[in-house]
Amino acid sequence: MIIDIKIPTPGESITEVEIASWLVEDGAIVEKDQEIAEIESDKATLMLTAEEGGEIAIKAPEGESIKVGSVACTIDTSKADQATESKADASTGDKTDVQDDQSESEKEKNKEKKSDDKTSAPSKDKVKTVDEEHSQVKTTPVADKIMQAHEVSVDDVLKGLARLDKKTTERGIEGLKATDTNEAQPVGERSTERKKMSSLRKKISERLVKVKNETAMLTTFNEVDMSAVMDMRKKYQKKFTEKHGIKLGFMSFFTKAAAVAMKSFPEVNAMIDENELVYFNYADIGIAVQTPKGLMVPVIRDTGDKSLAQLESDIAETATKARNGKITIDELQGGTFSITNGGIFGSMLSTPIINPPQAGILGMHNIQERPVAINGQVVVRPMMYIALSYDHRVIDGKSSVGFLKMIKDLIENPVMLLSGGDANEQLLEL
């Protein structure tokens, strides 16, 4: 029986996707629920799976746009049994291959041993395996044979290398011949490569340009002393990991601090909808994640009501799904605010771009030890610059500065942040 595998609906308002890549070849035997292709919408990368086992016939070429509901491929289920047979054959073949590999390996060892015996003996030929002047240079048996065939010595092909193998020896001989014939040696390859821009990358580009053109975006900065958070992580890390099975990171502290600060500055957690301002009484914060397909911002729901352990778990789970192409459209939609951490790539300072239609995004950066003045004394502390980019149409300058200052205060006093104002560390639900 021939069944059609159609493009599923990735989400509302999406009518067309792109076949990013086929994971199987045309005519291959696939199993039920096997991932057979990656499909890209303008919001995420999704996987196409085989509904039944059998022989696949690809109908939509890789890189082609295709309507939702269209047939991407067909599967001939009458040939599903071949998948089981090929598995059994592969298993048997693997054992044979191992034996063959072992046999070939033993033969190669014997050959090299004989070759070593030959090269270790004194030779009256012009060629010397190891030149007296470069007695520290080691050469492989294959390299020796190549040099003997071309009647050259180690000195002729040595280009500052500590060891010569087949590839480097051949490269050295080619360079020697070019020099002998006064031919110009190539400086290096000069080439270009063109790749079609994916639907996701095009959408990201469009959104970034739209933000710059259609918002009154400004950025304000502050710096945070990370000593208290780092000391707390060091003190509770072992207990936290044993209890929750995940490490306590920095992102959960900033996510929690942003959710708390939004209660005092609600305009930061708002957006424009035509002629109205929409204020949210909950904090769904998107955490920017760099993936092979581009930047994605999975949303962590109800961050203000979650503990550090819940936040760390949710952040790790969604980030892994995004990098592996398993994230869903629902997990990327509906955020009210965003956080991005350029510090993991070494960024000291940046002006993050707003994720529309949100009105603000918090930028974290690299932690560096710097001299700071505290109580009239210069001390060295681990400092981080933080940035808030915001839409001035929604957020006034006073609110933006106040919001960022509150995050600074909460991070520098994490006990107050987590215990609701009580300085007793025993109340922390780490």
Element (H, E) at 19: strand 16-22
Marked catalytic residue, from 33, 81, 302, 392: 392
- Residue 371: how many CB atoms within 10 A of its CB? 9
Question: Taking Cα atoms as reference points, which of 38, 16, 45 lies closest to residue 200?
Answer: 45
3-state secondary structure (DSSP) of residue 18: strand
Beta-bridge partners for 16: 67
Distance CA 255, CA 336 (A): 12
Distance CA 314, CA 284 (A): 12
The alpha carbon dihedral of 3, 5, 11, 12 has a sign of negative
365 included as an active-site residue: no
Beta-bridge partners for 371: 380
Amino acid at 269: N
Contact 318, 300 (CB under 8 A): yes
Marked catalytic residue, from 150, 396, 409, 422: 396
Element (H, E) at 167: helix 166-180
Place of tokens 């215990």: 419
Question: Which long-range contacts does 372-379 make (Cβ < 8 Å, 24+ apart)?
Answer: 372/225
Distance CA 108, CA 114 (A): 10
Distance CA 105, CA 177 (A): 34
Question: Six-digit token pair at 392?
Answer: 């001035």
Question: Six-digit token pair at 355?
Answer: 């994720």
Distance CA 183, CA 58 (A): 50
3-state secondary structure (DSSP) of residue 2: strand
284 included as an active-site residue: no
Question: Taking Cα atoms as reference points, which of 343, 282, 303, 294 lies closest to residue 322?
Answer: 294
Element (H, E) at 94: helix 81-120
Contact 41, 329 (CB under 8 A): yes
Residue 225 sits at the vertex; the CA angle it makes with 222 and 228, to the nearest 5 degrees, is 140
Contact 337, 285 (CB under 8 A): yes
Hey, which residues are catalytic here?
392, 396
